[in-house]
A and B are shown apart, each in its own frame.
Chain A
Amino acid sequence: MLYLFLTFVVLLLMVTGTRGFTLLFGLGINIFSIIALLILIADGFNVLITTGVIAMVILVVAIYMNVDNPNTASTAFKTSLLIMVVILLITIPLEFWASAQGMAAENQDELEGFSLAAGISYPQLAISIIVINSLGVISETSVAITSGLNEIVENKPTLTPTEIFDDGFSVGNKILNTQTNTLLFNFFASTFPLFFVIHSLGYKFTEILNDKLVVAEILTTLICTIGVILTVPITSYLVYRKANSKVKKDTK
């Protein structure tokens, strides 16, 4: 794995030059934040609050370190925060309803020899898993849409709100398609072993549809998609508000 890591670093520096150091630094901070999250949760801190705080740190790093234009960065950051709150608000009732937390019968082999009275709230962890899963997708989507929209707005400063929303959707269409692909293909990657095991256990269709792990995976993918969808109108609104206040300032 060390060789693989070295290959990765060498290639990264070859293609990106000095920017590679910034990228590695950002990745380092992200991994460090994740380890902090794990330790804090294992030590018994509240899962949801810890996740919220760490997610904010990660979003700051992911957005401000990758985006040079401060205007784009601040809008993208605001959007990502809002989306994170929305995802929390959607996920909490859905997870409560589905109780798709923790592990299940399919994990039997992995669970052998472990004390299951872990003292960690796995229902809350299920929510945290969805939030963390969405962080990368959400920050990327909001940055892409914000920078796309800002470019349009800067070239035509007298846009009406409907025009800005229309442009937002035309920029958002492509991003929605590609992000759905990313999420869907990752769903394939993580579930094909699961479906294989489920088949060898001889589940019926209704059992698959109600299976804890299958439902958890599908919910994760769907809720992340909802996050991507909502990024478009929220970004458009924020860009519109900013452009509007600028116009007002100019006329004064």
Chain B
Amino acid sequence: MKKNLRILLIVGLIVAFVTGLTYFDSFMYHDPVMKVEQVKNLDRSTSTDEYKNTDTQITQRVTGKLLNTSNKGQTVSFKNTYYRSQLTDTKYNVGQQVILTKGYNPKNVKRDTVLVFTVGLVVFLLYCMKFDRRKLFISVLINIAIFYGFMQIIIQKHNSVLLPLTVITALLISATALLVILGPTYQALMAYSSTIIATTAALVLSVFVLGMSGYSGVHVELNDFELQPYKGVFFAQVIFSVLGVILDETMDISSSLIEMKKELTDVKESTLFKSGINIGRELIGPLINILLFIVIAENLNVVLLYLSNGNSIGYTMEMTLSLGITQLLISGIGIILTVPVTSLIASKVITKKVQ
């Protein structure tokens, strides 16, 4: 217990130290950084737009001290105008650090301290509890490294190899995840093949069905930032988003079946398959829910922008959520197909392997 406390203390200190470091790291910035010391509201005007949205525009004078550059310590100030709704503009608060342009106009809020603090909070919480942290850190770090490599290549190749590269990346990150969680066992191989087969089947089926209807009602060109190639970006997002959930599902089903075989050694292959389907049935709903809420949350800003600009709920949904819902349907098909695929593979392999 004493040793745990000491580790906790060390981790806490490191987190506090690193967070503190980013608070004072303005010397690393080329742009001037200012700490806001005083904010004064100069002007306030309430207006109602053509869609009957009432918003208040506020002009504030923001004064503070420079934290870096040769003029360190000098007091500077700028005028900032923002809407109370703050969709694209920002209200500055006392204590915040603001990155400025060379002419001392606001450029961006300095957010690195919050970022590092939150990462630190996660790490600290993990050390507070008896989790197997090493596995988690290893898999997260390897996957981030793979993703970084993926980003570097598509940036260099200007997206031309997006889909094949996404497939390779997906194969790599799922392999990493399974190897770290399950180790190099036949269960990992089983889960890996089920994941690949189910995902591929879902994608092929969806492409076929979507092609049949000529992608009607699916605005692939409305992806975030309207990035090209539209279909490539869309399917790459589908693959990444569904992968984690399918891995979760297939591991759950196969490990339950292995346990069942260990308890009832003379269990038949068909019985195993049936219980696999039964276990999988319970998983489908919650897993689709996970993706549903992630997809909705991602688009919430745009949806409300459309709604508040006098668009009907139907038009808004079509322009903002149709892509997300298509993504969800493809993921859903993948989640459903994983159940029979895993049950089939697992029941066959387990009957042979586990005695």
Spell out A's residues near B (CB within 8 Å).
1-5, 7-8, 11-12, 15-17, 19, 22-23, 26-27, 30-31, 34-35, 38-39, 41-42, 58, 62, 65-66, 90, 94, 96-104, 106-107, 109-111, 114-123, 125, 128-130, 132-137, 139-140, 143, 165-166, 169, 172-174, 176-186, 188-190, 192-197, 199, 204, 206-207, 209-212, 215, 218-220, 222-223, 225-226, 229-230, 232-233
Contacts and interface: CB of A to CB of B under 8 A. Distances in A.
A107 B320 CA distance: 14
A16 B281 contact: yes
Residue of B51, B243, B284, B308 with highest tally of chain A CB at under 10 A: B308
A190 B298 contact: yes
A182 B130 contact: no
B8 interface: no
A122 B86 contact: yes
Contacts of A34: 296
Nearest to B25: A206
15 contacts: A3-B209, A3-B210, A7-B329, A42-B308, A58-B293, A66-B285, A94-B114, A94-B117, A99-B91, A106-B225, A116-B88, A122-B85, A177-B180, A182-B245, A192-B237
A17 to B, nearest CB: 8
Given A173-B132, A178-B251, A182-B248, A132 B300 contact: yes
B302 A110 contact: yes
Contact of A8 (B90, B115, B132, B332): B332
Given A8-B332, A35-B313, A190-B298, 17 more contacts: A3-B210, A7-B206, A58-B293, A102-B88, A115-B51, A119-B85, A120-B304, A121-B86, A122-B87, A173-B132, A186-B241, A195-B155, A199-B155, A206-B29, A210-B112, A212-B109, A215-B115
B108 A1 contact: no
A184 B140 contact: yes
A139 B136 contact: no
B122 interface: yes
B240 A186 contact: yes
B118 interface: yes
A49 B36 CA distance: 31
Contacts of B111: 98-100, 209-212, 215
Residue of A23, A98, A118 with highest tally of chain B CB at under 10 A: A118
B173 interface: yes
B257 interface: no
Contact of B286 (A62, A97, A116, A222): A62
Given A38-B303, A38-B307, A121-B86, A210 B110 contact: yes
B201 to A, nearest CB: 10
Given A116-B83, A132-B293, A139 B115 contact: no
Contacts of A106: 225
Contacts of B209: 3-4, 7
